[in-house]
Structure 1
Amino acid sequence: MDLLAGFTAWQIAVAIAAALGASFVRGLTGFGMAILLVPVLALALPPVAAVVMGNCLSLLIGLTELPRLVRESERSAWTISALVVLATPFGLLALAATGADVARLVIALIACSAFVAILLPRRKEGVPGRLMTGAVGIISGLMTGYAGMPGPPVVPYYAGRNLPRVTIKASMLLIFTFAAAAGLVAAGWMGLLRGELALFALFLLPVILIGNRMGMAVSGRISDPVWRTAVGLVLGAAAGGALLRLL
């Protein structure tokens, strides 16, 4: 336990509980880990450390599933991932240039728009046009740098279409893995990636693997309408939380 010597028992307990719950939602819906994990971690850790920890955990679990994600994802996920990597530094610059109140407003607006988008009728299986795909990638990258949450633009893009659930989840998780890597590279460039945070994330890896496996088991037993309802509820909770923080 020497590797956790810099953290209190309270911080460790909160991190374990948050990691287990957020990873369960990830396994169930294919997203939501950063949306749920980072705000809870921020109750026990400094906000910047919470974002870095969230990116560490998202990258670690994504790497354990990478062959499956590559095999099952839609080709558009690669285009969006590339744009996320390119846009993430600009999100960090935007965060540095704006105040906390503006940041909360932007996050709340995007979270609410994602919730509204998921309620719209499902579109066809075909890949949306280049303009929409490019916009999703750029906005997701900006959100990665701005708030450590790439999901709000990506989830409606996939879950709002008439695609197989396995394709939706794999495509989203592949993008989130690249987003986490981009966020960590940016954090390292800014001197925010500390060794003890990376070690703490490694300590929590078994916890998120267990939670993720439990969520996947539940996901495999529920119908598609129930799964899509769960996706909407998670997005709705994220939007509600963002609005509460804004108020």
Structure 2
Amino acid sequence: MEIAGFALWQVGIALVATLASAYVRGLAGFGLAILLVPVLALALKPVEAVLIASMLGLMIGLTEIRWLINQAERSAWHIGGMVVLTTAPGMALLAITPAPVARLLIALVALSAFVAVLIPPREPEIPGRLNTLLTGAASGVLTGFAGMPGPPVVPYYVGRSIPREVAKASMVLVFTIASTTGIASGLALGMMHWRLLLLALALFPVVLIGNALGHRALGKISDRAWRIFAATVLGAASFAALLKLL
């Protein structure tokens, strides 16, 4: 038996991974793609995992758009602009990369973000323009190649001593822009198929539930606990993906 062309075991993995990653997103402000894509890429084609994560990221981001605009740091718009310019090249690179190699690189990307978050928090001031633009460029390439704009963006915000609400809103705004750009790039490159949209629509209610549960838990933890949780999530995601591949 199949659902939208996917085997039941594939749908089952997608449901569990989506609920867990959405909960983390609601709590940490990131995690939907970083957690979801490596797991989905083990059950689906890497490009399918990337596009499904992008669609889910856009859907949930649109439900929070007013909060994002009001709370996000202005740097998020600069990073988002670079993401728009560099996502398509990343997706084109994914299309020509063998699936086993792509899966390994996706896992290593998540691991690199974990290492970056371990660096002690910096001052709250916005980094220089070059740093910001390079963060956006790297995020865009990774959006296209791995469906994960987070590895460069999470250390940029979580690694600074700024209020977690500002950090969370800024990251989610960048991720929403990245999701939109990823979908547009997929359409332009002819990689988007109706069955992917159907699966994303079926998973979206699970995203809403998981995100709401995570957001409710956010108000019960301190800033320090939040940063520790963010680092733990990144570490667990990357090591789990690497162990599965090995």
In the superposition, the TM-score normalised over structure 1's length comes to 0.90
User: Quick one: structure 1 residues 199 and 102, their matched pair in 2 at CA, closer, same or farther if it must change by over 3 Å?
Assistant: closer
In the aligned structure 2, how far is the partner of 1:69 from the partner of 1:157?
17
User: Quick one: structure 1 residues 47 and 107, their matched pair in 2 at CA, closer, same or farther if it must change by over 3 Å?
Assistant: closer
Matched, 1:165 2:168: no
In the aligned structure 1, how far is the partner of 2:153 from the partner of 2:4?
37
1:75-224 to 2 correspondence within 5 Å? 75-96=74-95, 98=97, 103=102, 107=106, 110-224=109-223
User: Quick one: structure 1 residues 208 and 96, their matched pair in 2 at CA, closer, same or farther if it must change by over 3 Å?
Assistant: closer
SS state of the match for residue 181, structure 1? Answer: helix
Matched, 1:36 2:73: no
How far did residue 124 of structure 1 move?
1.5
Question: What runs of 5+ residues in structure 1 fail to find an aligned partner?
Answer: none
Partner residue in 2 for 1:74: 73
In the aligned structure 2, how far is the partner of 1:128 from the partner of 1:163?
12
In the aligned structure 1, how far is the partner of 2:105 from the partner of 2:202?
33
The answer as to whether partners of 2:71 and 2:169 remain within 8 angstroms in 1 is: yes
The answer as to whether partners of 1:22 and 1:34 remain within 8 angstroms in 2 is: yes
In the aligned structure 2, how far is the partner of 1:140 from the partner of 1:220?
28
Q: CA RMSD, aligned part only?
A: 2.2
1:222-237 to 2 correspondence within 5 Å? 222-237=221-236
The answer as to whether partners of 2:41 and 2:103 remain within 8 angstroms in 1 is: no
The answer as to whether partners of 2:104 and 2:245 remain within 8 angstroms in 1 is: yes
How far did residue 242 of structure 1 move?
5.2
The answer as to whether partners of 2:71 and 2:166 remain within 8 angstroms in 1 is: yes
The answer as to whether partners of 1:31 and 1:173 remain within 8 angstroms in 2 is: yes
Which segment drifts farther, 50-59 or 72-81?
50-59
How far did residue 245 of structure 1 move?
6.2
How far did residue 31 of structure 1 move?
0.5
In the aligned structure 1, how far is the partner of 2:104 from the partner of 2:52?
23
How far did residue 49 of structure 1 move?
1.7
Kindly provide the CA deviation profile for residues 47-83 of structure 1, in whole angstroms up to 9, marking residues without a partner as x. Answer: 3222211111111001111111111100000000010
User: Quick one: structure 1 residues 164 and 129, their matched pair in 2 at CA, closer, same or farther if it must change by over 3 Å?
Assistant: same
In the aligned structure 2, how far is the partner of 1:211 from the partner of 1:239?
21
SS state of the match for residue 67, structure 1? Answer: helix
The answer as to whether partners of 2:47 and 2:95 remain within 8 angstroms in 1 is: no
